Amino acid sequence: MDTRKARGNTRSGFTLIELLVVIAIIAVLVGLLVPAVQKVREAANRMSCSNNLKQMALALHNYHGSNGELPVGRDALGLSTHAYLLPQLEQDAIFKQINFTLAWNAPGNALPMAAVVKTFLCPSDNFNSIPAGWAGNNYRVNQGSGLLWGLPPTANSDPNFGQPAPNGPFYLGSRTRLTDILDGSSNTAAMSEHRKGDFNNGIASPSDTFWLGQTVGMYPATADEAQRIATTLDTKNLLYQGMSDVGAPWIRGYHSTTVYFHVTSPGMPSCMYPPGRIATTADSNHSNGVNVAMCDGSLRFVPQSISLPAWRAMGSATGGEVISE
C-alpha cells in the first residue's frame, strides 16, 4: 500500500456546516458575555459616581467647617454652589479664575466656565454634545419639595404669590447651617444627579426640561399637581420642549444646571412652568434609580420606586416628616 498516497487523500480543515456551528457557538457566547461585561462596567460606573458625590458631600462639610454655613444654592449674580466648592475639591486654580463680582456669563468668567472638573461628571453619562466654552455637570444641590424657583413674592399681583418658600438646604442666597436642618442631616438630601442634555432643541430626549407655560391644566398650584402632569406628559411633543441645554455650564446656578427639586419622583420628566415654578427632578443612566448624598455626608442609592412622600421628605430640611419607604 502506498502510504504517501493515503496521507495525501486525508481530509483536513472544517466543512461549511462545522464552521457555521462554531460561529453560532461563538455568537451565543458573545451574547452571554456582553451583557455581563456591561453589567460589571455599569457597577463600576455607579461606584465612581457615588464616589464623586461622596467627595462633594465632604467638600460641603469642609466648607461649612470653614465658613459656619453651607454655600448658597446660587448667589445674586447666578454663580453656583459648585463655584464656591472648588477649593474644597482641590480645584484652587479654577477657583482663582472666577470673578465673583461678575455674573456667571460675563466675559471675565469665560475661562473657568470652560474648565472641566472630573468630579462633576458621572461616568455613566458619556453624552458630551456640550457647546465649546461650556463645561458639563451631573450633580445638583437640593432646593426642596416646593415648586417656587425664587423667593416668595410680596405683591398680591405676582402669579406666585402664596407659594411656599424653598424648604431645602440650597436656594437663592440660602447660606444654610447644619443646625438649621431640623429634620436631621441624615434625613435630608444635599445632592443628587441628573443626566446632561443633548443640546438639540429639535429632538426631545429624556434629559430635557419641558416647558409647559401657563397652559390650562398644566400650571400646577401644588406639588401633587406637578406629579400628575409629569406622569401623563407626552415627552415626544416638541411643543413642550423647553430646554435641551441641560447640565452645562456648572458655573451657573440654575434649575437646568446645578439645582434639582424633590417635587416629582426620581426619573420623571423635568418640567418648568414660567413664570417661576419648577419641577426638575433627579435622574440618571443607572438602572432604576439615582445616587443621593445626604447632608450628613452619607450616600444612598434611591430607587425610582420610592414612595413620593418619602422622596419629598428627603427634600425638605424642616418639614418634620418621617422618611418611610
Tell me whether the omega of the peptide bond preceding residue 152 falls within 30 degrees of 0, making it cis: no
Helix (H, G, I), strand (E, B) or coil at 100: coil
pLDDT value at position 118?
Answer: 97
Query: Is 34 a residue whose pLDDT tops 70?
Result: no
pLDDT band at 9 (very low <50, low <70, confident <90, very high): low
CA-CA distance, 263 to 243, in Å (whole number)? 19
Which residues make Cβ contacts (< 8 Å) with residue 32, sequence separation at least 6?
none
Task: Give the mean pLDDT of the chain.
Answer: 89
pLDDT value at position 27?
Answer: 81
pLDDT value at position 5?
Answer: 52
pLDDT value at position 202?
Answer: 72
CA-CA distance, 55 to 207, in Å (whole number)? 24
Helix (H, G, I), strand (E, B) or coil at 249: coil
pLDDT value at position 234?
Answer: 85
Q: Which residue has the cell 424642616?
A: 318
Which residues make Cβ contacts (< 8 Å) with residue 61, sequence separation at least 6?
297
Lowest mean pLDDT across 63-77, 222-236, 283-297:
222-236
> Given phi > 0 = left and psi -120 to 50 = alpha, else beta, which region is 136?
beta
Domain ranges of the chain: 17-315
The pLDDT tens digits of the residues spanning 258-281 come to 999 999 999 999 999 888 999 999
Please compute the mean of the pLDDT values over residues 125-135 and round it to a whole number: 88
Residue 29 C-beta-side C-alpha neighbours within 13 Å? 6
Please compute the mean of the pLDDT values over residues 209-230 and round it to a whole number: 83
The pLDDT tens digits of the residues spanning 70-125 come to 999 999 999 999 999 999 999 999 999 999 999 999 999 999 999 999 999 999 99
CA-CA distance, 167 to 142, in Å (whole number)? 9
